[in-house]
């Protein structure tokens, strides 16, 4: 079972590899990947150095090319596929059909993983991507319960990777237009959700704060209240005269307690979310998961969820809260 | 230019649904999409009854397309897709790759629905090989993107399939495993009591300063604004749009259909009844007024 960790930049890549990641995933510094944030991602030289570093320590580098190019821009994504191959990446992670098809035809030896942004939640959808583009792995959207993941592992034509830890997208990845409805900038087309340039914080005389996304009020906070980043899905709104987190609270996914079952189900890889996070996060979260996985591999029968692992992971969670999210039926 | 009735996004009582489509049989719409696209727990009409309704409307002279779910999680939901694809008498609206695969394996022609994520001419060409006969662009794809896709597709020697755009209704924005209606009513999804049925135009969600913003519709989130591309009719004609999609709503759709039917007969734009669709102009979907 592989541990796949986020690398938003070269120091994070090195930290992940040093902390025991089997693979890291990274993106180019443009809109070809779903974390197209300012100051993040890799130049060609940085990626070359990252690949060298990872390979020297036996880790793999996956290149995320997981946004949806429109017709006018599709050649830029093809060029990015060519670059990923030329720089020695071990696989690309892609969602869009033209990108996957181009990669399959032009670089058949470069493995193709279906991105979480590809929204494949069923065996027929995975079969489509397998037959059409020869994918060798798929990352599942964060919508399935543990039982559904187990069944899909039995029926999928390719090994599956699931999200293990990190910020929780509560919508089907690849099928959320909340950011674009408000700002015009979308995860699918632009690789961003709620971009910072549309965010405005206002501090009021009583010490309370409000936060807007392109003028739309996402939330208000009392003077001492912790305030999270304003994505639409984690704001507070009024429904039927009540104000609450109508879609989701600011919380992170943490599946550590499910580790033995995920392993038993045959999950091929566990993904840690967070290319936008720093070295401290990547290092600590990777190290914690590495320990838990190693202990499971060493002695399955005696594996126990350690409180210190959970405490360490909670430190890095959004709002210091974690959830089993969709894996647990009650979340739905 | 044809008019279509998009699939019913809301959950209405059985008699209301049947009465709506009985009326629709007499409206000047050419195409009717039937079936559940949001939640498989909504069973006021079972699959066999949707198919029976499809046969009735076809007998009344409508082209009928069977619509399918956007998010598929359970084997039973796949079973429904198989039944729809196997019927053979109707096209399928595929809102997920699972349905594309079902159609591809059986040779059933399909319509690519708005949640299928088809963004460029190469993807369109591949889906045409799979059996796509009509494309409904996703909500965030506006005039420029559709035109560029069409030009690139035709430059590659492709014959453009039918093009259908969402001309009227609330835009489907997001889908989740979580049921937001159940959450708002503080009940578990597995014991939801099918409460969506109490909200025939979905459950309004407003910002904390009272600005209407979204609609909660089970596992789906819709935009609050009822978008209207009527004023863009000349541009839609120039773009080669074949079909205008009008989404069902609880009240007043007969008038909306008449309005579009009247407008399509002439050359001019229709007057604006609903709200401007920002996406069509390459802007945020909603009207973002300053301050």
User: What's the complex ipTM?
Assistant: 0.96
Long-range contact list for B200-204, CB < 8 A, 24+ apart?
B200/B10, B200/B12, B200/B16, B200/B250, B201/B10, B201/B170, B201/B249, B201/B250, B202/B9, B202/B10, B202/B170, B203/A239, B203/A240, B204/A239
Nearest to B285 by CA among B210, B222, B234: B222
- As given in the structure block, the two tokens for residue B143 are 């005039």
Distance CA A308, CA A288 (A): 9
The CATH number assigned to the domain with range A2-168+251-331 reads 3.20.20.70
A171 touches chain B (CB under 8 A): yes
Give the best residue of A181, A183, A193, A225 to mutate against chain B (max B CB count within 10 A).
A181
- Does the distance separating the beta carbons of B211 and A172 come in below 8 Å? no
Measured between beta carbons, the chain A residues lying within 8 angstroms of B132 are none
A49 phi/psi in degrees, rounded to 5:
-65, -40
Distance CA B76, CA A148 (A): 12
Distance CA B161, CA B124 (A): 9
pLDDT tens digits, residue range B215-259?
A: 999 999 999 999 999 999 999 999 999 999 999 999 999 999 999
Decide if B220 contacts B213 (C-beta within 8 A). Answer: no
C-alpha B17, offset from chain centre = 16
Distance CA A113, CA A212 (A): 36
- Does the distance separating the beta carbons of A170 and B176 come in below 8 Å? yes
Q: Would you list the domain boundaries of chain A?
A: 2-168+251-331, 195-244
Measured between beta carbons, the chain A residues lying within 8 angstroms of B171 are 177, 181
Enclosing H/E stretch for B5: strand B2-5
The pLDDT, as a whole number, for residue B157 is: 97
Domains of chain B are 2-171+226-281 (3.20.20.70)
Measured between beta carbons, the chain B residues lying within 8 angstroms of A146 are none
- Does the distance separating the beta carbons of B104 and A144 come in below 8 Å? no
Specify the pTM. Answer: 0.97
Could you write out the DSSP letters of every residue in A152-188? HHHH-SS-EEEEEEEE---EEEEEE-HHHHHHS--HH
- Does the distance separating the beta carbons of B289 and A215 come in below 8 Å? yes
Q: Locate the chain A residue with the closest alpha carbon to B82.
A: A124
- As given in the structure block, the two tokens for residue B31 are 């195409």
The pLDDT, as a whole number, for residue A38 is: 87
The pLDDT, as a whole number, for residue A109 is: 98
Nearest to A181 among B178, B282, B284 (CB): B284
Distance CA A203, CA B123 (A): 47
The pLDDT, as a whole number, for residue B288 is: 79
Restricting to A residues 95-154, those with a Cβ less than 8 Å away from any Cβ of B are 95-98, 101-102, 118-125, 127-129, 132, 142-145, 148, 151
Minimal Cα–Cα distance from B170 to chain A, Å?
12
- Region B255-265: what's the mean pLDDT? 97
Q: Which residues contact A195 (CB under 8 A, 6 or more apart)?
A: A37, A179, A183, A185
The pLDDT, as a whole number, for residue B291 is: 39
Regions in chain A scoring below 50 on pLDDT: none
pLDDT tens digits, residue range B187-222?
A: 999 999 999 999 999 999 999 999 999 999 999 999
Q: Which residues contact B233 (CB under 8 A, 6 or more apart)?
A: B263, B264, B268, B269, B270
Measured between beta carbons, the chain B residues lying within 8 angstroms of A197 are none
- Does the distance separating the beta carbons of B179 and A332 come in below 8 Å? yes
Could you write out the DSSP letters of every residue in B70-86? SS--SHHHHHHHHHHHH
The pLDDT, as a whole number, for residue A228 is: 85
The pLDDT, as a whole number, for residue B289 is: 65
B126 touches chain A (CB under 8 A): yes
Three-state DSSP at A57 gives coil
Distance CA A46, CA A44 (A): 6
Restricting to B residues 217-256, those with a Cβ less than 8 Å away from any Cβ of A are 221, 223
Q: Which residues pair with B65 in a beta bridge?
A: B33, B91
Taking every pair of C-alpha atoms in chain A, what is the biggest distance, in angstroms?
61
Three-state DSSP at B170 gives strand
Three-state DSSP at B252 gives coil
- Does the distance separating the beta carbons of A95 and B221 come in below 8 Å? no
Nearest to B206 among A172, A238, A326 (CB): A238
The pLDDT, as a whole number, for residue B221 is: 98
Is the dihedral angle over the CA atoms A68, B71, A4, A289 positive or is it negative? positive
- Checking DSSP bridges between strand A252-254 and strand A160-167, what pairing results, if any? antiparallel
Distance CA B135, CA B260 (A): 20
Restricting to A residues 75-104, those with a Cβ less than 8 Å away from any Cβ of B are 95-98, 101-102
HSE (side-chain half, CA atoms, 13 Å) at B254: 10
Q: What is the dihedral of CA B5, B7, B10, B12, to 10 degrees?
A: 80
pLDDT tens digits, residue range B15-74?
A: 999 999 999 999 999 999 999 999 999 999 999 999 999 999 999 999 999 999 999 999
The pLDDT, as a whole number, for residue A329 is: 87
Q: Which residues contact B227 (CB under 8 A, 6 or more apart)?
A: B166, B168, B169, B170, B171, B274, B275, B276, B277, B285
Distance CA A35, CA A65 (A): 10
Nearest to A21 by CA among A317, A310, A298, A288: A288
């Amino acid at each position: 079972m592989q541990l796949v960790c986020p690398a938003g930049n070269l120091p994070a890549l090195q930290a992940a590899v040093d902390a025991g990641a089997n693979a890291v995933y990274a993106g180019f510094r443009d809109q070809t990947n779903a974390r197209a944030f300012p100051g993040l991602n890799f130049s060609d030289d940085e990626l070359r150095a990252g690949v060298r570093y990872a390979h020297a320590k036996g880790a793999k580098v996956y290149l995320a090319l997981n946004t949806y190019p429109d017709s006018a821009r599709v050649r830029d994504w093809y060029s990015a596929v060519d670059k990923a191959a030329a720089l020695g990446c071990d696989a690309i992670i892609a969602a869009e059909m033209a990108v996957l098809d181009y990669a399959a035809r032009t670089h058949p030896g470069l493995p193709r993983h279906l991105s979480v942004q590809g929204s494949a939640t069923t065996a027929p959808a995975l079969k489509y991507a397998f037959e059409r583009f020869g994918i060798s792995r798929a990352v599942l959207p964060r919508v399935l319960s543990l039982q559904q993941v187990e069944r899909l592992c039995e029926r999928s034509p390719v090994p599956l990777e699931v999200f293990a830890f990190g910020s929780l997208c509560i919508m089907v990845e690849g099928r959320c237009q909340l950011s674009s409805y408000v700002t015009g900038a979308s995860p699918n087309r632009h690789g961003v959700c709620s971009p910072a340039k549309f965010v405005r914080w206002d501090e009021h005389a009583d010490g309370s704060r409000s936060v807007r996304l392109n003028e739309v009020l996402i939330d208000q906070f009392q003077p001492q209240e912790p305030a999270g980043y304003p994505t639409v899905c984690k704001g507070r709104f009024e429904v039927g005269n009540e104000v609450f987190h109508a879609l989701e609270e600011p919380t992170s996914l943490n599946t550590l307690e499910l580790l033995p079952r995920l392993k038993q189900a045959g999950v091929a890889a566990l993904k840690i979310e967070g290319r936008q996070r720093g070295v401290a996060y990547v290092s600590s979260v990777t190290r914690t998961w590495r320990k838990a996985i190693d202990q499971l591999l060493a002695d399955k029968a005696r594996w126990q969820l350690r409180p210190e692992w959970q405490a360490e992971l909670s430190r890095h969670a959004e709002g210091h809260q974690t959830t089993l999210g969709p894996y647990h039926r009650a979340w739905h | 230019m044809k008019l279509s009735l998009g699939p019913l996004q809301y959950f209405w009582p059985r008699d209301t649904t049947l009465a709506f489509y009985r009326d629709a049989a007499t409206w000047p719409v050419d195409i009717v999409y039937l079936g559940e696209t949001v939640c498989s727990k909504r069973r006021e009409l079972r699959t066999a009854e949707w198919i029976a309704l499809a046969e009735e409307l076809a007998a009344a002279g409508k082209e009928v397309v069977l619509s399918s779910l956007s998010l598929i999680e359970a084997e039973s939901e796949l079973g429904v897709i198989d039944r729809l694809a196997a019927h053979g008498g109707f096209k399928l609206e595929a809102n997920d790759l699972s349905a594309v695969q079902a159609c591809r394996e059986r040779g059933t022609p399909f319509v690519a629905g708005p949640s299928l994520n088809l963004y460029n001419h190469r993807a369109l060409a591949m889906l045409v090989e799979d059996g796509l006969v009509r494309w409904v662009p996703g909500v965030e794809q506006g005039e420029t993107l559709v035109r560029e896709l069409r030009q690139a597709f035709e430059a590659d020697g492709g014959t453009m399939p039918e093009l259908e755009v969402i001309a009227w209704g609330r835009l489907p924005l997001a889908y989740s495993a979580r049921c937001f209606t159940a959450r708002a009513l503080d009940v578990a999804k597995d014991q939801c009591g099918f409460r969506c049925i109490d909200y025939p135009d979905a459950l309004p969600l407003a910002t904390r300063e009272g600005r209407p913003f979204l609609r909660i519709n089970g596992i789906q989130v819709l935009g609050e604004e009822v978008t209207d591309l009527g004023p863009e009719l000349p541009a839609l004609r120039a773009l080669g749009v074949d079909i205008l999609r009008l989404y069902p709503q609880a009240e007043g759709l007969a008038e909306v259909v008449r309005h579009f039917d009247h407008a399509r007969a002439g050359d001019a734009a229709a007057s604006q009844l609903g709200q401007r669709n920002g996406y069509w102009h390459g802007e945020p979907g909603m009207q973002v007024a300053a301050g």
